Structure 1
């Protein structure tokens, strides 16, 4: 049976009048027959000339070629690779407009999931828009036609790596060394067997984790060690799964980076493969806001769910009372305990538990809590929110990296007797459509 031929795409550019932005940052227009057009690189109110790069039954995908009538929010991207690189999608939009777009995205999701309206919208939290990104995964590929190695992010909407020599949104300790990274990988005998490089930066030190598909020779390992020494970077190898990650430079000392939360007199240590927030300044201010909104009083019991390495847990413990941190990843439970000991905090306990099921029978859960903080993954905490009523907490702070799941979970909490007191977005990932937000809920007294 012959395979059905895909319909050829139009070769002539088309004119599009952009009506609004989709949640992934693409302009939305319509053909004369009503078919939806998703246009990369276009802003609301603009008329653009665009090329069709993909077609489905209900919509077409296009890429902007020329802006005929620019919007007032359009700016020249600060990065020369912005039109091609998939690491950022909104560099052509002013930061004010980016933040307003993210705030509107959160409002739309809250309205969609039950018409939730907070009593107060707080001003968006903003910081530097360049050089902020401390965590990233860089692809690595040898391109035979160019006889060179590429290191960077994938191009927009395809699997090719973007040919870049620097990245201005990455921490400069890494972003200004893309060319050096390309050169050092190409100098290895195993230059075609390095699949990716994980980036992790602390306040004082930065690390690179090279995913090597084959064991490296002594000579190749020596090259990477010398690179680490020259650029003052920690160098790790990952020959197989995450549990095989090991440091080769420096050869002494513990395998840890660190960041500080000075408002709480805390130093937080982490392994380069641990989850940490990508934006250090926003993280410090986000933690301070969460602690302030939770308003822990002496003697109160506090529960921190999805606690990770204690990013919120330990600052909350500084406020007194008893704090319990719960995390599904046992390695992070260990890290939380390490950080509590490091900072001399003894009014906190860390536990491992499956937070996707009913955890109310766990010994720590039977003690009851006055306040709760939730910082779930993108999938949210729908199951958790169903069980929160059992604790009877008066106040809940929810930190979210996905407005859709925050809105869904807010609906569950409202159903269970809570009201959303205030919320706001935090620009954790400038130049992207990623929306970080925070909300506080209070229990409605009968």
Structure 2
């Protein structure tokens, strides 16, 4: 029903495609329509939600002819929870749909497909998510709710288990709600985040109000009780006004993930950005190093370097690496990671706003044979424009671009194509199974 009580229009439609949010795509009244819950090849009864000038949004209410790839979602909360978008699609078919979305974006916005289409990296379909922030709210009965936000809403979908979280984390959710419910209002508990490292798991209780002595004692008791599961120590922090405080009396925990192929351990803190799926990340780094092929003494640049996820493997393979990142604290941690892995002499890290990059900025970093770019969803538009504007002799001969947004990758690929770069290879990596998120890697070579 609409807000005014009127019944929303329904009709039948055949879907021919899928968009970057996992919605089925069809045609209705001469415009594109995006139908949540529908798949390519299906005929569905759909309900109109928004009618825009050039497109419409809706949702499937009945499946008349189902896709052969449709499955029953294993999670009972799937219809409402915003944590997943594709549980109604078989795991291998999800990868195929993402590949289709990626190819369509490259052709439509990027000007064409790569010369070589890389085989997809499938990853793990379940229990892969090593980092998440769960929101705290209230159920209809007034009890504490803990989970992801509902689709298109700020309401919290209450979870007692979750198939994409680590099994130990999923099993702990009912206990945490039971222990924290009495203090939810008093401390203004807003969210519970976790980070599952190789050797320890860290929880962060984010709260709006200062802790009373009684609340602090209760949280310390929780931390003492929930201090180890499946052979891995658990550590607990509170976070108030951005400040992290360790609850347990033990030494500050060391979070890390490893890249065994390169003998590298990368340390990080609970509030640092890291990939949420370390297993697929290791495969992604392997693929990037295959295409970069670092050589001893070769000079390389890692733009948007973060904590050194790609910089350190480059250095381990012999390259001299300049890592560039916009956050000074992350640059300091990347340098510390380089030193801890015995690579300080081969790595240098610098702070720069890569979203404001220009030719002069790039030139001051010096020439490099190869670059790796790993930008956020906004892409690397200013940086690729600056690289494209360099004199031909100063341009890197190979760019490896790791993307979490096919649309911005395609936009940036078009800039590189206009600057004599050949789209050499590209393909997707299923970093976020059960979601519509598309991670990919693209390789660009300077012509001639």
Q: Same fold (TM over 0.5)?
A: yes
Name which of structure 1's ranges 97-106 and 225-234 shifts more when overlaid on structure 2. 225-234
CA spacing shift, 1:113–1:54, aligned 2, 3 Å:
closer
Structure 2 vs 1, CA of residues 395 and 30 (structure 1 numbering), >3 Å: closer, same or farther?
closer
What does 1:431-446 correspond to in 2, within 5 Å? 431-445=434-448
Q: CA deviation at 1:60?
A: 4.7
1:8-407 → structure 2 map (5 Å cutoff): 8-10=5-7, 14-31=11-28, 33-34=29-30, 36-56=32-52, 59-143=55-139, 145-188=140-183, 190=185, 193-232=188-227, 233-241=234-242, 244-249=243-248, 251-254=249-252, 256-345=254-343, 346-358=345-357, 361=360, 365-389=364-388, 390=390, 391-407=394-410
Contact 1:268–1:339 (CA under 8 A) maintained in structure 2: yes
What is the count of residue pairs matched by the alignment?
A: 436
Structure 1: unaligned runs, 5 residues or longer? none
Alpha-carbon contact 2:98-2:436 (below 8 Å) kept? yes
Distance in 2 of aligned mates of 1:269 and 1:431:
28
Q: CA offsets, 1:131-169, max 9 Å, x none?
A: 0011212110134x4131001011122221112211110
Q: Output the CA distance in 1 between the equivalents of 2:6 and 2:328.
A: 50
Partner SS state of residue 240, structure 2: coil
Distance 2:117 2:320 in 1: 30
Query: Could you say what secondary structure the match of 1:188 adopts?
Result: helix
Shift of 1:67: 2.2
Distance 1:307 1:72 in 2: 41
- SS of residue paired to 2:354: coil
8 Å CA contact retained: 1:27, 1:39: yes
Matched-pair contact (CA < 8 Å) for 1:17–1:46: yes
The CA distance in 2 between the partners of 1:253 and 1:321, in whole Å, is 36
Aligned partners of 2:375 and 2:32: how far apart in 1? 34
Q: 1:159 to 1:366 in 2, by over 3 A?
A: closer
Q: What corresponds to 2:230 in structure 1?
A: none
| Structure 1 residues 218 and 358, CA gap change in structure 2 (3 angstroms) | same
In 1, Cα distance between the equivalents of 2:83 and 2:112?
32
Q: Give the secondary-structure state (helix, strand or coil) at the position aligned to 1:113.
A: helix
- Partner secondary structure for residue 438 of structure 1: strand
Q: CA deviation at 1:109?
A: 1.3
Cα distance change, pair 171–214 in 1 and its aligned pair in 2 (3 A): same
Superposed CA RMSD in Å reads: 2.2
Contact between 1:247 and 1:255, CA under 8 Å: does it hold in 2? no
Q: In the alignment, is the contact (CA less than 8 A) between 2:187 and 2:215 conserved in 1?
A: no
Tell me, what secondary structure is at the counterpart of 1:43? coil
The equivalent of 1:421 in structure 2 is 424
Contact 2:31 2:55 in 1 (8 A): yes
- Compute the TM-score of the two structures, normalised by the length of structure 2: 0.91
Q: So what's the TM-score if we normalise by structure 1?
A: 0.91
Range with bigger deviation, 263-272 or 195-204:
195-204
Structure 2: runs of 5+ lacking an equivalent: 228-233
Give the whole-Å Cα distance in 1 for the aligned partners of 2:78 and 2:337: 39
Secondary structure of 2:443's match?
strand
Q: CA deviation at 1:359?
A: 5.5
For residues 289-338 of structure 1, the C-alpha deviation after alignment (integer angstroms, 9 at most, x for no partner) is 11111011111101100000000000100011311111001111011011
Q: Secondary structure at the match of 1:177?
A: helix
Render the CA deviation track for 1:57-81: whole Å, top value 9, x for unaligned: 6555433333232110101112221
